[in-house]
Structure 1
Amino acid sequence: MSELKRTQLYDVHVAAGASMVDFGGWEMPIQYPSGIVAEHLYTRHACSLFDVSHMGRVLVEGPDRVAFLQHVLSSNVESLDLNMAQYCIIPTENGSAVDDAYLYRFEEERFLLVVNAANTEKDLAHLREAMKNYNCTMTEITKDWAAIAVQGPKCKDILMTLSGGVQLTEPMKNALGTVTLEGRLVRVAKTGYTGEPLGFEVYCRSEDAAWLWNRLVELGAKPAGLGARDTLRLEAALPLYGHEMGLDPAGNEMPIFAVPLAKFAVSFAPQKGDFIGRKPLEQQFAAFKRIMNRDFSDLSVLPRRIQPITLLDRGVMRAGMPVYRGEKQVGWVTSGTMVPYYVAEGEGLQTVITDETAKRAIGLCYIDSDILTDDTVEVDIRGKRLKAVIPANHMSVSAPPFARPLLYRPEEKDPVGSLENLPGKAFELLKKAEENHLWRQKQCINLIPSENTPSHAVQMLSASDPSCRYAEHKKVLSFYDKDIFYYQGTKFIDEVERLLVEQMRLYLGCAQVETRVVSGQMSNMATFSALMDWKNRLDRKHTPQRLGYVMNNHIIKGGHLSAQPMGALRDYVAVDPKTERTAVVNFPVCRDNIYKIDVEGTKKLIDEYRPELIIFGKSMVLHREPVAEIRAFVDAQNIPTTIMYDMAHVLGLIGDHFQNPFADGAEIVTGSTHKTFFGPQRGVIGVNYQREDLKWGLWEAIESRTFPGSVSNHHLGTQLGMLMAAYEMNHFKDAYQSAIIANAKHFARALKAQGLDVQGDPAIDYTETHQVIVSVGYGTGPEVAERLEENNVIVNYQTTPEEEGFTASGALRMGVSEMTRFGFGPAEFDELAALMADCILRGKDISEDVVRLRSRFTKMHYCFNDAEFNAALDRFAGEIGF
Structure 2
Amino acid sequence: MSELKRTQLYETHVAAGASMVDFGGWEMPVQYPTGIVAEHLYTRHFCSLFDVSHMGRLLIEGPERLAFLQHVLSSNVAGLDLNMAQYCILPDEDGGAVDDAYLYRFEEERFLLVVNAANTEKDLMHLRSVVKDYDCTITDITSRWASIAVQGPKSKDLLTTLSGGVQVTEPMKNALNTLTFEGHEVKVAKTGYTGEPLGYEVYCRSEDAAWLWNRLVELGARPAGLGARDTLRMEAGFPLYGHEMGVDPDGQRIPIFAVPLAKFAVSFAPQKGEFIGRKALEQQFDAFRRIMNRDFSDCTALPRRILPIALLDRGVMRAGMAVYRGEKQVGWVTSGTMVPYYVAEGEGLETVITQETAKRAIGLCYVDSDVLTDDVVEVDIRGRRLKAVIPARHMSVGAPPYARPLLYRRPEDEVSQPADRAAKALELLHLAQDNHQWRQRQCINLIPSENTPSRAVQLLAASDPSCRYAEHKKIISFYDKDVFYYQGTKFIDTVEQLLAEQMRQYLGCTQVETRVISGQMSNMATFSALMDWKNRLDRKHTPQRLGYVLNNHIIRGGHLSAQPMGALKDYIAVDPVTERTAVVNFPVCRDDLFRIDVEETKKVIDRYRPELIIFGKSMVLRREPVAEIRRFVTEQNIPTTIMYDMAHVLGLVGDHFQKPFEEGAEIVTGSTHKTFFGPQRGVIGVNYRREDLKWGLWETIQSRAFPGSVSNHHLGTQLGLLMAAYEMNYFKDSYQKAVIDNAKYFAKALHEAGLHVLGDPAIGYTETHQVLVDVGYGTGPEVAERLEENNIIVNYQATPDEEGFTASGALRMGVSEMTRFGFGQTEFTELAGLMADCILRGKDVGQEVSRLRSRYTTMHYCFDGPEFQTALEQFMGQIGF
Which of the five TM-score ranges fits, normalised by the shorter chain?
Answer: over 0.9
- Per-residue CA deviation, residues 240-274 of structure 1 (Å, 9 max, x unaligned), is 00000000011100000000000000000000000
Offset of residue 417 of structure 1: 5.3
- Pairing 1:666–2:665 present: yes
- 1:549 equivalent in alignment to 2:548: yes
Runs of 4+ in 1 over 3 A off after TM superposition: none
Correspondence list, 1:139-154, <5 A = 139-154=139-154
Alignment of 1:207-286 (within 5 A): 207-286=207-286
Give the SS at the match of 1:3.
coil
Q: Which amino acid in the other structure matches residue 445 of structure 2?
A: N
Query: What residue in structure 1 maps to residue 536 of structure 2?
Result: 537
Whole-angstrom distance in 1 between the partners of 2:465 and 2:679: 15
Matched, 1:101 2:101: yes
Q: 1:408 — aligned with what?
A: 408
Q: 2:580 & 2:26 partners in 1: Cα distance? A: 39
Question: Can you list the C-alpha shifts for 1:773-818, whole angstroms capped at 9, x where unaligned?
Answer: 0000000000000000000000000000000000000000000000
Shift of 1:871: 1.1
Q: Map Cα deviations across residues 420-469 of structure 1 (whole Å, 9 max, x no partner).
A: 31111110000000000000000000000000000000000000011121
- The alpha-carbon deviation at position 275 of structure 1 amounts to 0.2
**1:225-374 residue pairs with structure 2 within 5 A?**
225-374=225-374
Shifted more, 613-622 versus 296-305: the winner is 296-305
Alignment of structure 1 residues 613-624 onto 2, 5 Å: 613-624=612-623
Separation in 2 of the partners of 1:272 and 1:315? 47
Q: What is the aligned partner in structure 1 of residue 6 from structure 2?
A: 6
Please state whether the residue corresponding to 1:576 is helix, strand or coil.
coil
Alignment of 1:628-643 (within 5 A): 628-643=627-642
Distance 1:600 1:386 in 2: 64
Distance in structure 2 (CA, Å) of the matches to 1:798 and 1:253 = 48
Aligned residues: 881
Mapped to 2, the partners of 1:526 and 1:509 lie a distance apart of 21
Partner of 2:437: 438
- Return the letter of the residue paired with 2:173: K
- 1:134 aligns with 134
Q: Please name the residue that 1:689 is paired with.
A: 688
Q: Distance in 2 between matches of 1:757 and 1:872?
A: 48
- Aligned equivalents of 1:652 and 1:605: distance in 2? 30
- Distance between the aligned counterparts of 1:543 and 1:194, measured in 2? 43
- Rounded to whole Å, the distance in 1 between the matches of 2:871 and 2:677 is 21
**Using the alignment, how far apart are the partners of 2:497 and 2:659 within structure 1?**
24
Shift of 1:415: 4.3
| 3-state SS of paired residue (1:57) | strand
The one-letter amino acid of 1:502's match is E
Distance in 2, matches of 1:505 and 1:814, equals 29
SS of equivalent residue, structure 2 residue 569: helix
Question: Residue type matched to 2:436 in 1?
Answer: H
In the TM superposition, what are the counterparts of 1:406-555 in structure 2 within 5 Å? Answer: 406-416=406-416, 418=418, 420-555=419-554
Partner of 2:200: 200
Determine helix, strand or coil for the equivalent of 1:607: helix
User: Aligned residue for 1:861?
Assistant: 860
In the other structure, the counterpart of 2:700 is 701
Task: Give how far 1:868 is off.
Answer: 1.1
Partner residue, 1:791: 790
- 1:110 is displaced (CA, Å) by 0.2
Pair 1:27-2:42 in alignment? no
Matched residue of 1:324: which SS?
strand
- 1:550 is displaced (CA, Å) by 0.3
SS of 1:645's partner is strand
User: In 1, Cα distance between the equivalents of 2:516 and 2:281?
Assistant: 47
Within 2, Cα distance between the matches of 1:769 and 1:372?
52
Matched residue of 2:502: which SS?
helix
Counterpart CA distance in 2 for 1:659 and 1:24 is 63
| CA distance in 1: counterparts of 2:467 and 2:793, whole angstroms | 32
Q: What residue in structure 2 maps to residue 827 of structure 1?
A: 826
Q: Which residue of 2 aligns with 1:752?
A: 751
Tell me the equivalent position of 1:117. 117
Determine the structure 2 residue equivalent to 1:733. 732
Query: Which residue pairs with 1:54 in the alignment?
Result: 54
Deviation track 1:595-636 (CA, whole Å, cap 9, x = no partner) reads 111111110000000000000000000000000000000000
1:678 deviates by 1.4
Secondary structure class of the residue paired with 2:466: coil
SS of 2:274's equivalent in the other structure is coil
Q: Where do 5+ consecutive residues of structure 2 fail to align?
A: none
Read off the aligned partner of 2:868 and give its amino acid letter: F
Residue 186 of structure 2 aligns with an amino acid whose one-letter code is: V
TM-aligned CA deviation for residue 739 of structure 1: 0.2
Tell me how far apart the structure 1 counterparts of residues 237 and 763 of structure 2 sit (CA, whole Å).
49
> What is the Cα deviation at residue 132 of structure 1?
1.5
User: Match of 1:411, as an amino acid?
Assistant: P
Structure-1 separation of matches of 2:9 and 2:394 = 32
Deviation (angstroms), 1:416: 2.7
CA distance in 2, matches of 1:364, 1:722: 57
Distance in 2, matches of 1:871 and 1:154, equals 62
Name the TM-score, length of structure 1 as normaliser: 1.00
* Amino acid in the other structure paired with 1:734: D
Following TM superposition, by how much is the alpha carbon of 1:299 offset from its aligned partner in structure 2, in angstroms?
1.4
SS in 1 for 2:248: coil
**Partners in 1 of 2:414 and 2:616 — Cα distance?**
39
Look up the equivalent residue of 1:289 and give its one-letter code.
R
Q: Which moved more, 1:570-579 or 1:1-10?
A: 1-10
Whether 2:80 is the aligned partner of 1:80: answer yes
Q: Distance in 1 between matches of 2:771 and 2:415?
A: 42
Q: 2-side partners of 1:678 and 1:315: how far apart?
A: 63
Residue 183 of structure 2 is matched in structure 1 by 183
Quick one: distance in 1 between partners of 2:275 and 2:264?
17
Unaligned runs of 5+ in 1: none
Counterpart CA distance in 2 for 1:429 and 1:199 is 47
Equivalent-residue separation in structure 2 for 1:273 and 1:37 (angstroms): 46
* Structure 1 SS opposite 2:679: coil
Give the C-alpha shift of residue 690 in structure 1.
0.6
Q: 1:467 is paired with a residue of what secondary structure?
A: helix
Query: Residue 608 of structure 2 aligns to which amino acid in structure 1?
Result: Y
State the partner residue of 2:567.
568
CA distance in 1: counterparts of 2:467 and 2:408, whole angstroms: 46
Counterpart Cα distance in 2 of 1:412 and 1:653: 50
- Alpha-carbon distance between aligned partners in 2 of 1:474 and 1:97, rounded to the nearest angstrom: 59
Q: Which amino acid aligns with 1:796?
A: N
For 1:873, the aligned partner's letter is: L
> What is the aligned-residue identity percentage?
82
Counterpart CA distance in 2 for 1:566 and 1:280 is 32
Residue 380 (structure 1) shift: 0.4
Q: Secondary structure at the match of 2:464?
A: coil
* Cα deviation code 1:520-565 (max 9, x no counterpart): 0000000000000100000011110000000000000000000000
**Aligned match of 1:845:** 844
The one-letter amino acid of 1:678's match is F
- Amino acid across the alignment from 1:357: T
Q: Who is 1:559 aligned against? A: 558
In structure 2, C-alpha distance between the alignment counterparts of 1:600 and 1:180, rounded to whole Å: 26
Instruction: Give the Cα–Cα distance (whole angstroms) in 2 for the partners of residues 217 and 132 of structure 1.
Output: 44
Measured on the aligned residues, the alpha-carbon RMSD in Å equals 0.6
Query: Equivalents in 2 of 1:572, 1:302: separation in Å?
Result: 33
SS in 2 for 1:779: coil
Give the Cα–Cα distance (whole angstroms) in 2 for the partners of residues 374 and 690 of structure 1: 59
SS in 2 for 1:331: strand
Structure 1 Cα separation of the partners of residues 350 and 745 of structure 2 = 33
Equivalent residue runs for 1:155-174 within 5 Å: 155-174=155-174
